[in-house]
Amino acid sequence: QGKQQGKNTYRFYTTDMESDITNNIRLKMELRNALEKNQFFIHYQPKVSLESEQIEGVEALLRWEHEELGLVSPNEFIPVIEETGMIHAIGEWILKTVCTQHKVWRDQGYPTLKVAVNLSPIQLKDPDIIEKITDILQETNMEPEWLEFEITETSLIENKKEATKILKKLRKMGIRIAIDDFGTGYSSLHLLKRLPVDILKIDRAFIQDNDDHAILESILEMAKKLQLTVVAEGVETKEQLDYLKDQYCQEAQGFFISHPLSKEKLESFVNAQLSREKSKYLKIC
């Protein structure tokens, strides 16, 4: 296509591609030792109930900070660790870290939050995935009831048979399954009914675009019929939050509620909510 637009366009296009390739090679190299160098950490984004406006749970989001490159976006480095297979080791590290942190919070007396971990489609192809997850939960004293896994709609469709088998096993263990970025793929109602899922996370595109409200409302209606919990992603304004409340959406997540937070900042977020509750109670007395 670049060729048809003349020589300059073509050259520009090539340079762009070259820099993409160089960038990819650099990332691959730097990621190789990232785990050993402790360059990964987890941020936690609160999820609130729209009825009570209380924090219900958090989504664990992987962060990578490199000494020269700085903080690299997961959208950039996750495809690289998937491609190289590093996602297996890093995925185990994520789950172990999150479950260990959850135990610390429980021991410190924080209210027990649900925690959602993103699972890569590559991890779903690992024949030992169930065993690995079982071991980590046992090792870290984590109840499966506190855990959710988020899987994107597209990864479910691409690998339907195998993925369905694994998700069924996870659910049997008591772990809830969420479809992430729902609406961006091509799940039909028919497919959704047969998939072993508990939660739909509606992609932020449908929350943020007013023209998509018809789609949003029909997703909510369908989810209700299938008895799925609905989480709205990417809530950035009060108007969006109020609208979702009107539509009886159950949960919301987004910058308006909170950005993803370091573990210390999440503790402050929870503490602030606890003291608000306490002061409400004192006023009533």
The answer to the question of residue 155 lying near ligand C2E (CB under 6 A) is no
> Taking contact as CB under 6 A, which single stretch among the options 11-19, 26-34, 216-224, 254-262 is the one that binds ligand C2E?
254-262
Angle between helices 87-107 and 74-83 (to 10 degrees): 120
252, 260, 261, 266: residue in contact with ligand C2E (rule CB under 6 A) = 260
92, 148, 153, 180: residue in contact with Mg ion (rule CB under 5 A) = 180
> Taking contact as CB under 6 A, which single stretch among the options 12-20, 29-37, 59-67, 272-280 is the one that binds ligand C2E?
59-67
HSE, CB side, 13 Å, CA atoms: give it for residue 199: 24
Q: What is the DSSP letter of 7?
A: H
12, 41, 248, 255: residue in contact with ligand C2E (rule CB under 6 A) = 255
**Residue nearest Mg ion, CB atom distance:** 150
47, 86, 88, 118: residue in contact with ligand C2E (rule CB under 6 A) = 118
What value, to the nearest 5°, has the Cα angle with vertex 122 and ends 117 and 125? 105
The answer to the question of residue 236 lying near ligand C2E (CB under 6 A) is yes
46, 57, 183, 234: residue in contact with ligand C2E (rule CB under 6 A) = 234
Least separation in angstroms between residue 249's CB and ligand C2E is: 15
β-pairing, 55-66 vs 147-152, is: unpaired
Q: Which run of H or E residues covers position 203?
A: none
The answer to the question of residue 118 lying near Mg ion (CB under 5 A) is yes
Which string of DSSP letters, residue by residue, matches 128-163? THHHHHHHHHHHHT--GGGEEEEEEHHHHHHTHHHH
- State the sign of the Cα–Cα–Cα–Cα dihedral 181, 114, 52, 108: negative
Residues forming contacts to ligand C2E in the complex (CB under 6 A) are 45, 60-62, 73-75, 78, 94, 118-120, 150, 180-181, 204, 234-236, 253-255, 260
